[in-house]
Chain A
């Protein structure tokens, strides 16, 4: 947590994950080469590798985009979520190899530099079918580069998590551009219609699971999918009813939306404390974590916070906003206004009046 950066914080699980990822990619590439040669031996080897790298990157992008929604549907996918970063970097490297070979292959004949020729050799920018699909791939590659280059935790701290996340939302733009790149590219180079069909299936899958999970999330928050969410009922003292002590299992939290964001209300050691649900690391959902060794522990990468102050235990220095809490019988009341990050709050003691 936040102390002394390293290149990669290796552990056994990450190591196994890396080996599986890398060997799957290498296996795919060689299978692609072998099968292509089998079917049409007149194909140039260079051309085959362009397609092998491109398709490997595109398939891996589908896996990456599926992890987020899948881990919302089932906790089984969480380990993939923690390690998504490395898949991203791997996919960027594959895409880079594809682009490098394609540029060398298709644009190395004229008297223009390959990179200039990429944008000017086909100028049918107003024509759908003859649209210069390579330019779409080029823009996507720039986005993927920015994401891969900022994948270290250093960038989370220095760009701040919301900016970093906004940048990573660019992956959806990149995905859209790449769907165009592949479909138009296939139309122009007269590839088998199977490719277009496969891209269509992939597209329906990605949009489908995203819609499904966002519907479920909205239901959980009690908010409509469109329009403003219903405002929490604030009483005269500025507190919000969030439910009963019995709703919360020991060392776990209940999540409520207050002040425009989720709040995690934890029950531990016969007490109740409330802190902002947003982890300072990558904005993981603290309310889905547990109290471990007296600390709220983020389910994503294990950052910890003291429940009654929102401060990470020393030597760490992260601080998140806290909320005043009180009890009326077994009913929990949480202040509608957050306290400054790291403000100590007296926990509400269960059973005390």
Chain B
């Protein structure tokens, strides 16, 4: 195995680590203070729930960061019927 390949792999792994550490810090802030702002379903302390979502927040933290910065809550889904309903409502 040549050393450049090892260097590249190590570099990529460090990048992933940095992302995860940043995510972990964000996740702790998010589950303690910020979840309620994006999802009104997070009520009371519900410790188990808050701990359960930490791994996912570590993985998807930029999505929540952007949502919080824009002051937006969670989106509603799009499917064929919802899109068609919006389209014909807009056309009237």
Contacts and interface: CB of A to CB of B under 8 A. Distances in A.
Contacts of B38: 158
A216 B85 CA distance: 29
A154 B77 contact: no
Interface string A128-161: 0000000000000000011011101111011111
Interface stretch (A15-23, A67-75, A117-125, A223-231): A117-125
B26 to A, nearest CB: 15
B52 A152 contact: yes
Interface in A334-349: 337-341, 343
Nearest to A3: B41
A96 B48 CA distance: 22
B78 to A, nearest CB: 7
Contacts of A163: 77
Contacts of A113: 10, 13
A259 interface: yes
B1 A123 contact: yes
A4 B79 contact: no
Given A115-B13, A120-B5, A7 B52 contact: yes
B53 A155 contact: yes
Given A149-B59, A150-B56, A278-B79, A157 B51 contact: no
Contacts, number: 120
Most A C-beta atoms less than 10 A away, residue of B39, B42, B46, B84: B84
A230 to B, nearest CB: 16
B79 A6 contact: no
Q: Is chain A's binding surface mostly helix, strand, loop or mixed?
A: loop
Contact of B88 (A153, A160, A337): A337
B75 interface: yes
Contacts of A145: 55, 59
Contacts of A158: 38-39, 64, 74
A44 to B, nearest CB: 26
B33 interface: no
Interface in B31-65: 38-39, 41-44, 46-49, 51-53, 55-56, 58-60, 64
Contact of B56 (A149, A157, A341): A149
B55 A149 contact: yes
12 contacts: A3-B41, A4-B43, A5-B46, A7-B47, A121-B1, A157-B74, A158-B38, A160-B74, A162-B78, A259-B80, A261-B81, A337-B85
The 7 A-B pairs of least Cβ separation, nearest first, read A7-B48, A260-B80, A160-B77, A261-B80, A149-B56, A149-B55, A338-B85
Given A5-B42, A8-B48, A149-B55, 17 more contacts: A2-B41, A3-B41, A4-B41, A4-B43, A6-B49, A112-B6, A120-B1, A150-B56, A154-B42, A155-B56, A158-B39, A158-B64, A160-B74, A160-B78, A260-B81, A321-B82, A343-B85
